Structure 1
Amino acid sequence: MVTQPELMPLAPAPSLPSPGIMGRALGVFFFLIALTIFGIGILNAANAAGLVGTHGTLAVKDCWVQRGTRHSRGHTVCEGIFRSDDRKVVDDRAGISAAVPPGSKVSVQRAGDWYVRTGFGEVARWIAMFFLGGLVLAFGMAFAATGMFPRDAAQVGMISREVSESRVGTVRRWIVRGSLAGVVICILLRSLTGS
């Protein structure tokens, strides 16, 4: 005798969450992250361009790989002696996040307690980070506009589609297009300089 397999009920189709304060708070959270990314990108780009900070040279002594999280390999940190161009500032514990051979001299800008490599390629790199902030901003706009807090990835897509035909959706599209174009242009410029 052949037995019939038991039929499984279909999972209910995902539905949009109700608007509330949590959705708006999520939108504000993404806005604050975007502002932070904008600030870091512009500040470091200004330093790399030599517009702010103290310019000088870092004589590299040691380099090592600083361990990352389980999702990243980490990054190379080099430490050495910083001397400002006017010889007024000397820091024997200066460090940068870069892979350069020990014994080399690197043009850097001192920005408070940290150092940033200078040059056109570095400026392009930091401006690309600024544009990445635009993508974060665009992602959070749907939650801020609708007040909907997603419970899973399917709801994220549904909320995005919900605002796609509104003014918010139009603004989001322009922000995403502009941000992606900015990132691509910055990457191309950086690759052309060989940085």
Structure 2
Amino acid sequence: MMELGQRGHGIFGRAEPELELGRMDGPNAPLPAPSWKGRVLGGVFFLAALVCVGFSVYNAAHAGGLAGRHGTLTVQRCWVEQGTRNSSDTTVCSGSFRPEDDSAVVRDAELRREHRPGAEVPVQQTGSGYLASGLAETWRWNALFFIAWIVAALGVPFAATGIFPARTQAFAVGARVRGTRAAVVMKYLYIGGAAGTAVCLYLTWIL
């Protein structure tokens, strides 16, 4: 006869599922031990933030006229390029670019923005193409700079703890740094990033 004190086994000698605590899944599962994978994950977020900052500064400098060659692109035709599974469709307009310095006109210059045919768009020539210029465009690219703060904040808890969590445990890792200096850094990155992004998008809208 089975003794009442023998818990954890059913009639057929198999472990009862509710007692297999080591196999618990979800956000309440025990977090893994710190490892280099967690540090690398935090570094990936920081690297992505740096890429956003570089992209923002480069494009904002051109949109603001601080770099590149200024001119006007007269739109002749537009079409839609089909996106991939991970990206949306993009409208591309083509036309003639007339530089402000009266140098040779560039035919079939392309601008990735929707415009009506015949529109004369102020643009800046970059090393890889053309960008719409002006204050509104400059602030739009500045918003990406502050979005980079938010991306960096996402990597703080992983870099600080070294924990590489399961997909459902990301918020649990964030809670692990609560009350530490890392939490303060993460808080100000979130607040500064959100406030800066909101201001930039507002200025883009009203200009």
Residue 119 (structure 1) shift: 0.9
The higher radius of gyration belongs to: 2
- Taking only aligned residues, the RMSD between alpha carbons, in angstroms, comes to 1.7
Letter in 2 for 1:86: D
- 2:138 corresponds in structure 1 to 123
In 2, Cα distance between equivalents of 1:100 and 1:37: 26
Q: Does 1:186 align with 2:200?
A: yes
Q: Does 1:9 align with 2:18?
A: yes
Alignment of 1:91-102 (within 5 A): 91-102=106-117
Query: Are the structure 2 counterparts of residues 8 and 16 from structure 1 closer, same or farther at C-alpha, using a change threshold of 3 Å?
Result: closer
Alignment of 1:39-188 (within 5 A): 39-70=54-85, 72-153=87-168, 155-188=169-202
Letter in 1 for 2:29: P
In 1, Cα distance between equivalents of 2:104 and 2:55: 24
Q: Percent identity?
A: 40
Aligned residues: 186
After TM superposition, which residue ranges in structure 1, 4 or more long, deviate above 4 angstroms?
none
Letter in 1 for 2:128: D
In 1, Cα distance between equivalents of 2:144 and 2:51: 11
- Structure 2, unaligned runs of 5 or more: 1-15
- 1:28 corresponds in structure 2 to 43
Residue 92 (structure 1) shift: 1.5
Query: Are the structure 2 counterparts of residues 162 and 122 from structure 1 closer, same or farther at C-alpha, using a change threshold of 3 Å?
Result: same
1:111-158 superposed Cα distances (whole Å, 9 cap, x missing partner): 1122111111101110011111111111011111111112212x1011
